[in-house]
Amino acid sequence: MQFLRKQFLPIGLLSAAFVGITLPAPGIAMSRLPTHVVAVVFIFLISGLMLRTDEIKAAIRAWHAALWGCTSILVVTPAVGVAITLCLPLDPELKLGLALFCCMPTTLSSGIALTTTARGNVALALLLTVLTNLGGVFVVPFTVMATVDAMQQGSGRIELSATALLGKLCLVVLIPLVIGKSLRSTCGRWVDSHHSALATASNAALVLISWMQFSLSSTRLRDLAIVDLLILVVVSLVIHLCFLLLNTGVMRWLPADEAARRAVILLASQKTLTVALTVVAFLPMPAASKGLAAISCILFHLGQIIVDAFIASHWSARNPAHSGQQQ
């Protein structure tokens, strides 16, 4: 049971894939209701409740690292990831999902958890999470629009409005996050005492969204060549490794201690699945195509978590970082 609790999200995502593909009818029926929007609002409300920003001021001392982290997450890694994706011989919907995932801000919770395991600067990891997810609401719509235009090469098959996407993200991401953070001042003790249960509930909502996406794309998935899926998995890992190498190289040149380096390398190399699935749901395209794009995001997410878990464990086994590990 302890193992299942710790690995709830990856096990849940794999289970959602199996159930959605083999028995798609319930997921398709559920997707006709506003389930996706409710689930996303719930996730970000919980995220706001669980945001502890007391130690963020301490992280600002490592401003060089924080500045690069934000730039890498919102500008550099999207450009690198999309450039690589454009060259791939993949199904267009899978390719689009991969490119969109590269445009997302950093993960909401797994990055902080892995930074804790790696004995990195947790306060800096939290600062990067807050800044990029709040800033990402305003940046992501325009990077996504540019990505969609580049993927279509002017064909205009998907007419996407960045301002419309911005408004939707504010409604389902930014406002619930701010409300949750505001409520924390009155129920912070209760939230901290039920942290594990709330995290599990948030992950369950994410699994629910993934289950509906797999169900919607079950027919198309069965028609996909296994080679396409294998290419997708390999390329996702390669792109993530490129992010890791890029951030590692830059952090070696910045005036930051080992704890800050570990935090930035992990956080600036990860992308959030929650926002990615939300953006995919808002795209003006057929439901089956959305499902395939979502599958790229889910596989990329699983790959980055597995790789970074090994890295965090390796760093944890080495000499502990000297600064920020207890923050």
- 326 assigned to some structural domain: no
> What's the confidence (pLDDT) of residue 155?
46
Count of the separate structural domains present in the chain: 1
How many whole angstroms separate alpha carbon 154 and alpha carbon 148? 9
**What is the per-residue pLDDT for 326?**
40
pLDDT in tens, 93-123: 889 999 999 999 998 777 887 888 788 888 8
How high does pLDDT run on average in the chain?
84
Residue 148 placed within a domain? yes
**Dist. CA 267–CA 263, nearest whole Å:** 6
CATH classification of the domain holding 238: 1.20.1530.20
Mean pLDDT of 139-162: 75
pLDDT for res 57 = 65
Q: Establish if 327 belongs to a structural domain.
A: no
pLDDT of 159 higher than 70: no
Has residue 183 been placed in a domain?
yes
pTM: 0.81
Label residue 64 left, alpha or beta by phi (over 0 means left) and psi (-120 to 50 means alpha): alpha
- Amino acid 91: pLDDT: 83
**Average pLDDT of 230-250?**
94
Q: Does residue 76 lie in a domain region?
A: yes
Look at the block and give the residue holding tokens 């395939």: 292
Q: Is residue 305 part of a domain?
A: yes
In a domain, 206, yes or no: yes
Q: Report, as an integer, the average pLDDT of 175-195.
A: 87
Which has the closest alpha carbon to 109: 301, 316, 318, 307?
301
In angstroms, the CA 17 to CA 284 distance is 23
- In this predicted model, what pLDDT tens digit does every residue of 207-223 receive, in sequence order? 898 888 888 878 777 77
CA 242, 248, 254, 257 torsion-angle sign: positive
Judge whether 189 lies within some domain: yes
**Which residue range forms the structural domain that includes residue 220?**
7-316
